């Protein structure tokens, strides 16, 4: 047997091709020598799952597929719109995951082949023993007339990153006396309270910087669907909010700068933030992981294994059927539970029953927040909610708690 080269030594020692000066590719992982878990998606669920598989059993090889080289947090991104935070403060790299032995590939999974137990990445393939899919959400552009052709001009900013920065710039550039229109899709969608928190942040900014302007909220739902009374109380401080429930937007025309609701009303805007209807990420749909609704993935409540394909676990915002919101905290909890389930299954051990938990903070001004806490248990093989608690009102204390929560969970995911 020949002596190993420095490159081979670094590879086998766990530092991999990155330490040798080159980024690994899918071709480098075409063969596997031991047990391997592939994770698709480097968001709240995927990063957590990848890290916790390695923590639970370092003998298992973990490959994480994520096209973006940086993680940008959706929670706290509404504060970028109001100027309370910068985009850099919610942006993180993946180097610490690599330090845990996770092999991070900044590439896109193009197909899943369940029978062959492999993921296609371009012309290459990654074989796996277990696959964890955490693809987030994709937008249903076709459900709003004119939106597909106007994606480059109509911002959603519902995936934090460049659009968040651009929407903040448009808000800052809007003339005093202008109209900011925010549209909310029908439930279910990613982060139920998110649009209402965004309403607070935009309204706060306008109140302090453009007092002659107003914010029109066109909600496809009949009423605020999360923390209703708390948001209503917070909005009392913002007379610049005009909230219209049961106003689903069905058409957008960037040329005339107006949207049309299903009631036939045409609403003019200076700045538009249109949040489209959503479904599971594209890879989940193309791999036939979604249910009859063609939107969301049904999973086993104990292992998050797909009810349609064995050895494939789906976590995070793409799932449905559990009585949990599509939140970052839930995705993080699913990441841990799926990781321990996968390790148990690969070791032919019973899967311990574990229920997720959820804490969700919403900022209602530059320094005050509200929160909800959901507790769950496993009963009869299903996740069941046992308690929901809301803060009695908004306060600076809850905002401080929110900062501590975010710092802790980002560290848990990526540290």
Residues 130 and 198 in one domain: no
- Residue where a domain stops, chosen among 256, 277, 298: 277
Note the helical H segments in 66-126.
78-81, 95-99
Q: Are 158 and 126 part of one and the same domain?
A: no
Mean pLDDT of all residues in 218-235: 98
Q: Do residue 38 and residue 114 come from a single domain?
A: yes
Same domain membership, residue 155 and residue 260: yes
Across the range 67-94, mean pLDDT stands at: 98
> Same structural domain for residues 162 and 134?
no
For residues 145 and 250, is the Cβ–Cβ distance under 8 A? yes
The reply to whether 19 and 109 lie within a common domain is: yes
Q: What angle do CA 83, 372, 359 make, to 5 degrees?
A: 80
Same domain, 75 and 42: yes
The answer to whether residue 203 sits within a structural domain is: yes
Q: In this structure, is residue 404 part of a structural domain?
A: no
- pLDDT score of 28: 87
Domain around 149: 141-277
Q: Which pLDDT value is given to residue 6?
A: 37
- The answer as to whether 405 is a domain residue is no
Same-domain check for residues 96 and 180:
no
Q: Which residues contact 135 (CB under 8 A, 6 or more apart)?
A: 40, 41, 280, 281, 282, 283, 284, 316, 318
- What's the pLDDT at 102? 98
Whether 288 is in a domain gets the answer: yes
Which residue in 288, 285, 310, 292 sits closest to 300, CA to CA?
Answer: 310
202 three-state secondary structure = helix
Of 354, 369, 399, which one is at a domain's C-terminal end?
Answer: 354
Per-residue confidence band for 23, with pLDDT thresholds at 50, 70 and 90? confident
C-alpha closest to that of 266 among 145, 167, 171 = 145
So what's the pLDDT on residue 17? 43
Contacts of 267 (CB under 8 A, 6+ apart): 181, 216, 218, 258, 259, 260, 261
Task: For residue 231, give the nearest of 394, 84, 402 by alpha carbon.
Answer: 394
Domain end, chosen from 277, 310, 325, is at 277
Whether 151 and 257 map to the same domain: the answer is yes
**Structural domain includes residue 328:** yes
List pLDDT tens digits, range 32-80. Answer: 889 999 999 999 999 999 999 999 999 999 999 999 999 999 999 999 9
Q: Is it the case that residue 10 has pLDDT exceeding 80?
A: no
Q: What are the tens digits of pLDDT across the range 392-404?
A: 999 999 999 999 9
Q: Is residue 359 part of a domain?
A: no
> pTM score, two decimals?
0.93
* pLDDT per residue as tens digits for the range 174-197: 999 999 999 999 999 999 999 999
pLDDT at 294: 92
Does 96 lie in the same domain as 84? yes
CATH (domain of 178): 3.50.50.60
pLDDT confidence tier of residue 16, bands split at 50, 70 and 90: very low
Q: What is the mean pLDDT of the chain?
A: 94
Question: Looking at residue 24, what is its pLDDT?
Answer: 84
Q: Within a domain: residue 411?
A: no
pLDDT of residue 398: 98
134 and 32: one domain?
yes
Q: Kindly state whether residue 398 falls inside one of the protein's structural domains.
A: no
Segment 230-258 shows an average pLDDT of 98
Q: Please check the confidence at residue 253 and state whether its pLDDT lies above 60.
A: yes
Specify whether the CB–CB gap between 43 and 332 falls below 8 A. Answer: no
Pair (63, 75) in one structural domain: yes
Q: What's the pLDDT tens digit per position in 345-392? A: 999 999 999 999 999 999 999 999 999 999 999 999 999 999 999 999
Q: How many domains does the chain have?
A: 2
Residue at token pair 């070791």: 347
């Amino acid at each position: 047997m020949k002596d190993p080269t420095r490159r081979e030594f670094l590879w086998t020692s766990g530092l991999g091709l990155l330490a040798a000066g080159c980024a690994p590719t899918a071709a480098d992982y075409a063969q596997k020598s031991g047990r391997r878990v592939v994770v698709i998606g480097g968001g709240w669920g995927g990063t957590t799952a990848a890290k916790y598989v390695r923590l639970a059993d370092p003998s298992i090889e973990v490959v994480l597929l994520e096209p973006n080289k940086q993680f940008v947090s959706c929670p706290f991104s509404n504060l970028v719109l109001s100027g309370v935070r910068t985009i850099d403060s919610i942006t993180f790299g993946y180097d610490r995951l690599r330090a845990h032995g996770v092999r991070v590939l900044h590439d896109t999974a193009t197909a899943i082949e369940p029978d062959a137990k492999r993921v296609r990445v371009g012309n290459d393939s990654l074989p796996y023993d277990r696959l964890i899919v955490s693809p987030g959400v994709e937008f249903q552009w076709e459900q709003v007339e004119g939106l597909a052709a106007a994606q480059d001009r109509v911002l959603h900013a519902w995936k934090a990153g460049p659009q968040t920065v651009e929407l903040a710039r448009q808000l800052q550039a809007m003339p005093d006396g202008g109209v900011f229109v925010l549209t909310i899709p029908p439930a279910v969608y990613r982060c139920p309270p998110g649009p209402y928190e965004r309403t607070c942040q935009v309204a706060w900014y306008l109140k302090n910087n453009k007092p002659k302007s107003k914010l029109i909220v066109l909600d496809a739902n009949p009423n605020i669907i999360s923390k209703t009374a708390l948001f209503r109380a917070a909005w009392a401080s913002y007379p610049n909010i005009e909230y219209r429930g049961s106003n689903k937007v069905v058409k957008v025309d960037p040329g005339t700068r107006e949207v049309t609701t299903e009631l036939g009303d045409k609403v003019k805007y200076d700045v538009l933030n249109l949040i489209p209807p959503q479904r599971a990420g594209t890879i989940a749909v193309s791999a036939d992981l979604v249910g009859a609704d063609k939107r969301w993935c049904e999973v086993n409540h104990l292992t998050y294994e797909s009810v349609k394909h064995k050895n494939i676990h789906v976590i995070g915002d793409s799932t449905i059927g559990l009585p949990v919101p599509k939140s970052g905290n839930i995705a993080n909890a699913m990441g841990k539970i799926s990781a321990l389930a996968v390790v148990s299954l690969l070791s032919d051990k019973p899967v311990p029953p574990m229920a997720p938990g959820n804490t969700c903070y919403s900022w209602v001004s530059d320094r005050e927040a509200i929160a909800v806490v959901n507790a769950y248990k496993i009963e009869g093989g299903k996740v069941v909610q046992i308690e929901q608690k809301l803060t009695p009102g908004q306060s600076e204390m809850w905002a401080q708690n929110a900062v501590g929560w975010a710092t802790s969970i980002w560290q848990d995911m990526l540290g």
